[in-house]
């Protein structure tokens, strides 16, 4: 890796995940000399202004500029100008609502950039194939940030399963449920376009695939709309899905985003697996670290995902760490390697080398061919609910169909 390589980075989307995880990660890497100029694009200038207030010492370009644009004016295509202004090759981190990923990815790839995309890659299998084709043609690295893969609790399950300690998989149960602030506050503008399964449940569908290497055979799903419609949102409160895999093992995933505001953590989450030779059981919410404070009350504190600590060398400076950070940086560091290996090559040899390096990573990274599995399961869940909870299978190209 070229130690002098400072990648320009554009974050598209200025919501919760950008504010709490992506932007602090990028700012930290800027200080460490791995990332150069930073830009953030959002629909509204008010979002840019909020991020600047949150990180007053940070320097980044904002699209749209709050000093020149009505703060609340919606400018849905602002990201296109930001992509055009980004020096190529750069990194575009896609953090828009899930249903808006595809046009941003396509615009970035066609402009000569590489992408780190918040999970899921997209919501339609057809879009995933389009992205994969464009990435192959352009020699672009498109990485889906399935950060649960970097959770040591998930990595432990993978290691022990692949070692043979669990035997053959029989069944599993995953649960991931969030407080109602998610659809009512953070995602109020677009929760009707998504669901708790598509937004967070897909983490555990991908985790099972990552742990076992198995592919899904068929899916059946259920969804309930009881609370959110009474609050003006035509969105699912909860979604459950059962996935049968190619070895006839079964994974049940339960999701919701209407938990009480008094829940002791934003997310209840965990995974249980049973194999012919062993069992895995993990509460991914309760990491046995608790705080009780006058300001925050009782809190289950997860030090593993993404938290702020005192810096080792300068205790007055924040040190961001966790598997949320690790997952983003895995993608960024891969891109650094690719650019460092090809930046001095003419166009044709550079394209050939990029394709070669990306192909070597396809077995070990959530690039489009792996990310396609989560997209296919998400689409199958929607299709099952829309068709009276019938089983949905997958065609050879992973397009789901009602069985």
- Residue 129 pLDDT > 60: yes
Per-residue pLDDT at 3: 57
The mean pLDDT of 100-104, rounded to a whole number, is 98
**Among residues 191, 7, 121, 159, which one has the least CA distance to residue 370?**
121
What percent of the chain has pLDDT above 90? 99
Q: Give the pLDDT mean for 211-240.
A: 98
Place of tokens 């994969």: 132
Report the SS3 class of residue 114: strand
Q: What is the dihedral of CA 21, 23, 27, 28, to 10 degrees?
A: 10
Token pair 């100029």 in the structure block, residue: 37
CA geometry: angle 252, 145, 361, nearest 5 deg:
105
Beta strands in 190-335 (DSSP E): 216-224, 238-245, 250-259, 267-275, 279-283, 290-293, 297-300, 307-310, 318-321
- Tens digit of each residue's pLDDT (9 = 90 or more) over 8-51: 999 999 999 999 999 999 999 999 999 999 999 999 999 999 99
pLDDT for 108 equals 98
Distances (CA, A) of 292 to 131, 288, 296: 46, 13, 7
Is residue 381's pLDDT more than 70?
Answer: yes
80: its two tokens: 């296109």
pLDDT in tens, 151-172: 999 999 999 999 999 999 999 9
User: What's the rounded mean pLDDT across residues 323-341?
Assistant: 97
pLDDT of residue 10: 98
Query: In Å, what is the CA distance from 390 to each residue of 171, 255, 381, 402?
Result: 20, 19, 10, 7
**In 3-state terms, what secondary structure has residue 268?**
strand
CB 287 within 8 A of CB 299: no
Please give the structure tokens belonging to residue 362.
Answer: 């396809």
pLDDT tens-place string over residues 339-371: 999 999 999 999 999 999 999 999 999 999 999
pLDDT digits (tens, 9 = 90+) for 257-282: 999 999 999 999 999 999 999 999 99
Output the pLDDT for position 1.
46
Kindly report whether the global pTM for this prediction surpasses the value 0.85.
yes
Q: How far apart are CA 126 and CA 360, in angstroms?
A: 24
Residue 135 has pLDDT above 70, yes or no: yes
In order of their start, the domains of the chain are 7-148+311-367 (3.40.50.720), 152-304 (3.30.360.10)
Residue 5 pLDDT? 87
State the chain's mean pLDDT as an integer.
96
Task: Show Cβ contacts of residue 175 under 8 Å, excluding neighbours closer than 6 positions.
Answer: 253, 254, 255, 268, 269, 270
pLDDT in tens, 74-101: 999 999 999 999 999 999 999 999 999 9
């Amino acid at each position: 890796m070229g130690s002098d390589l400072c990648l320009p980075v554009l974050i598209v989307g200025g919501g919760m995940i950008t504010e709490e995880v992506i932007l602090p990660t990028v700012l930290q890497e800027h200080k460490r000399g791995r990332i150069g100029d930073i830009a953030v694009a959002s629909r509204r200038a008010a979002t840019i202004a909020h991020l600047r207030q949150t990180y007053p010492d940070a320097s980044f370009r904002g699209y749209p500029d709050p000093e020149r644009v009505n703060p609340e004016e919606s400018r849905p295509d602002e990201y296109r100008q930001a992509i055009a202004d980004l020096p190529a090759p750069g990194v575009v981190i896609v953090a828009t609502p899930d249903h808006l990923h595809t046009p941003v990815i396509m615009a970035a790839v066609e402009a000569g950039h590489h992408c780190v995309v918040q999970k899921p890659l997209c919501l339609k299998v057809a879009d995933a194939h389009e992205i994969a084709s464009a990435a192959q043609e352009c020699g672009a690295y498109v990485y889906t940030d399935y950060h649960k893969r970097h959770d040591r609790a998930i990595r432990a399950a993978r290691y022990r399963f692949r070692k043979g300690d669990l035997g053959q998989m029989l069944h599993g149960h995953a649960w991931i449920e969030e407080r109602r602030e998610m659809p009512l506050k953070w995602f109020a503008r677009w929760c009707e376009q998504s669901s708790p399964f598509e937004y967070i449940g897909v983490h555990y569908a991908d985790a099972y695939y990552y742990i076992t290497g198995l592919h899904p055979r068929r899916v059946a799903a259920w969804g309930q709309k009881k609370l959110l419609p009474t609050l003006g949102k035509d969105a699912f409160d909860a979604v459950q899905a059962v996935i049968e895999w190619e070895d006839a093992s079964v994974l049940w995933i339960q999701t919701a985003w209407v938990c009480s505001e008094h829940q002791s953590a934003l997310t209840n989450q965990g995974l249980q697996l049973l194999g012919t030779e062993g069992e895995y059981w993990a509460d991914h919410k309760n990491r046995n670290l608790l705080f009780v404070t006058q300001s925050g009350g009782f809190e289950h504190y997860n030090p593993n995902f993404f938290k702020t600590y005192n810096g080792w060398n300068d205790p007055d400076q924040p040190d961001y760490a966790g598997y949320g950070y690790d997952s983003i940086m895995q993608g960024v560091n891969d891109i650094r390697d690719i650019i460092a290996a090809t930046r001095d090559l003419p166009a044709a040899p550079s394209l050939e080398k990029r394709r070669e390096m990306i192909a070597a990573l396809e077995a070990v990274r959530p690039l489009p061919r792996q990310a396609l599995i989560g997209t296919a399961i998400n689409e199958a869940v929607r299709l099952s609910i829309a068709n009276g909870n019938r089983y949905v299978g997958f065609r050879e190209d992973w397009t789901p169909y009602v069985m």
